[in-house]
Amino acid sequence: MERPQISDRWRRVGALAAALVTGLLLGAPSAGAVVSTVKPLKIRTETVKPATATVPYAQSLTAVGGTAPYTFTVESGSLPEGISLSPSGELSGTPNAAGASTFSVLATDSSSPAQSATKTYTLTVQLDVGPKSLRKANAWSYSQTLLSATGGTGPYNFSVVSGALPEGVELFSEPGNDKLSGSPYRAGTYTFTIAAADTASAATGTRTYKLHVGLGMSPHEGREVPTATVGQSYGEAICASGASASSTYVLSEGTLPEGLTLAPPVPEVENCAKITGTPEQAGKFNFTITATDDVSGMSRSVKLYVLVWSVGFPGGAVTLEETPREGLPPEAENISLTTKHEANGIISGTMFGGNFSSGKWSYNTVTHAVRFKWPETTGPEGEPGANLLYTGTCEPVAEKCTGENSRGSFTLKRF
Q: Does 271 lie in the same domain as 234?
A: yes
Positive or negative torsion for Cα 149, 153, 158, 161: negative
Q: Which stretches of 340-382 are assigned E, i.e. beta strand? A: 340-341, 346-353, 356-364, 369-373
Average pLDDT, integer, range 210-223: 92
> What is the model's pLDDT at position 146?
94
Q: Quick check: is 97 in a domain?
A: yes
Percent of all residues in the chain with a pLDDT value above 70, rounded to a whole number: 84
Q: What is the mean pLDDT of residues 385-407?
A: 80
pLDDT tens readout for residues 133-167: 999 999 998 989 999 999 999 999 999 999 999 99
On whether the CB atoms of residues 161 and 193 are closer than 8 A, the answer is yes
pLDDT reported for residue 211: 97
385 in the same domain as 344: yes
Confidence label for 92 from pLDDT (cuts 50, 70 and 90): very high
Give the pLDDT score at 355.
Answer: 60
In angstroms, rounded to a whole number, what is the distance separating the alpha carbons of residues 220 and 216? 8
The enclosing domain of 101 has a CATH number of 2.60.40.10
Q: Is residue 33 part of a domain?
A: no
Above 90 in pLDDT, residue 340?
no
Q: How confident is the model at residue 342 (pLDDT cuts 50, 70, 90)?
A: low
Regarding whether 267 and 197 lie in a shared domain, the answer is no
**At 2, is the pLDDT very low, low, confident or very high (cuts 50, 70, 90)?**
very low
Let me know whether 210 and 143 are in one domain. Answer: yes
Q: Domain tally for the chain?
A: 4
Would the pTM count as exceeding 0.75? no
Provide the domain limits for residue 170: 128-214
What are 42-61's pLDDT values in tens digits?
Answer: 999 999 999 999 999 999 99
Which runs of consecutive H residues, i.e. helices, occur in 106-209?
none
Query: Which of 104-113, 224-233, 383-392, 406-415 is predicted least confidently?
Result: 383-392
The Cα–Cα gap between 127 and 162 comes to: 18
The pLDDT-based confidence of 341 (bands split at 50, 70, 90) is low
Please check whether residue 146 is in contact with residue 134, taking contact to mean a CB–CB distance below 8 angstroms. Answer: no
Q: What is the pLDDT of residue 332?
A: 83
pLDDT of residue 116: 97
352 and 371, same domain (yes or no): yes
Give the pLDDT score at 36: 54
Same domain (yes/no): 348, 378 = yes
Residue 5 has pLDDT above 60, yes or no: no
Answer yes or no: do 190 and 232 share one domain: no
134 with 116, same domain: the answer is: no
Cβ-based neighbour number of residue 287 at 10 Å: 20
DSSP 303: E
- Cβ(169)–Cβ(187) below 8 Å: no
| Rounded alpha-carbon distances, angstroms, from residue 261 to 82, 152, 196, 275, 286 | 66, 60, 53, 6, 14
Amino acid at 156: Y
Give the span between the Cα atoms of 336 and 352, in whole angstroms.
5
Decide if 372 contacts 360 (C-beta within 8 A).
Answer: yes
Average pLDDT over residues 319-347: 78
- Rounded mean pLDDT of 81-107? 97
Assess contact for 54 and 96: CB atoms under 8 A: yes
408 and 322 belong to one structural domain: yes
Query: Are residues 320 and 408 located together in one domain of the fold?
Result: yes
> Are the C-beta atoms of residues 261 and 211 closer than 8 Å to each other?
no
Mean pLDDT, the chain, integer: 85
Whether residue 111 lies inside any domain: the answer is: yes
Residue 3 domain flag:
no
Torsion sign across C-alpha atoms 243, 249, 254, 257 = positive
Task: Say whether both 273 and 293 belong to one domain.
Answer: yes
- Domain assignment present for 66: yes
Please, which residues have CB within 8 angstroms of residue 366's CB and are 6 or more apart in sequence?
A: 224, 345
Where does a domain end: 126, 141, 166?
126
Instruction: Give a yes or no: residue 29 inside a domain.
Output: no
pLDDT for 88 equals 98
Task: Work out the average pLDDT over 213-242.
Answer: 90
pLDDT at 175: 82
Residue 27 lies in a domain: no
Residue type, 217: M
Question: Which residue among 190, 214, 238 closes a domain?
Answer: 214
Indicate if the pLDDT at residue 20 is higher than 50.
Answer: no
How long is the chain?
415
Together in a domain, 354 and 404: yes
Considering 309, 336, 360, which residue would you say is the last residue of a domain?
Answer: 309
CB atoms closer than 10 angstroms to residue 79: 18
When pLDDT is cut at 50, 70 and 90, the band that residue 28 belongs to is very low
Q: Is residue 155 part of a domain?
A: yes
